[in-house]
Amino acid sequence: MTDLQDAIREENRRIRLLRIMSDLTVQVLMSGRLSASEAASLIDGVKTFALKLFPGKDQTFDLIHMPRFRRALRESGTYDREKPTLVVYHGFETGDHSGERN
């Protein structure tokens, strides 16, 4: 195999991993069993995982995955358009509010 074919195979593997993680996350979010803070923590974990697979792709994650996660939360009743927007700050940990906006 050539280096290009190996690189393409590796990227496809990383894409599959992220797709599986994203699909599982949507299923958990749609279960409606998480609080908003638990959902935010779960999404932050997925984003951390995605950025390890694809460094520097924060905006791509926010563009592709965040709308899907918000829709799952809305459909489960955890998130309402009329309430404050769910924003995940990368690296935000429960109990550490230094990254919150006022």
pLDDT at 94 exceeding the cut of 60? no
Q: What is the reported pTM?
A: 0.73
Per-residue pLDDT of 45-65, as tens digits, reads: 999 999 999 999 999 999 999
Q: What is the 3-state secondary structure (H, E, C) of 21-50?
A: HHHHHHHHHHCCCCCHHHHHHHHHHHHHHH
Over range 14-35, report the average pLDDT: 95
Rounded Cα distance, 16 and 21, in Å: 9
Nearest CA to 50 out of 86, 93, 21 is that of 21
Closest of 25, 21, 17, 20 to residue 76, by C-alpha: 25
Q: 32-44 pLDDT, tens per residue?
A: 889 888 999 999 9
DSSP state of 97: -
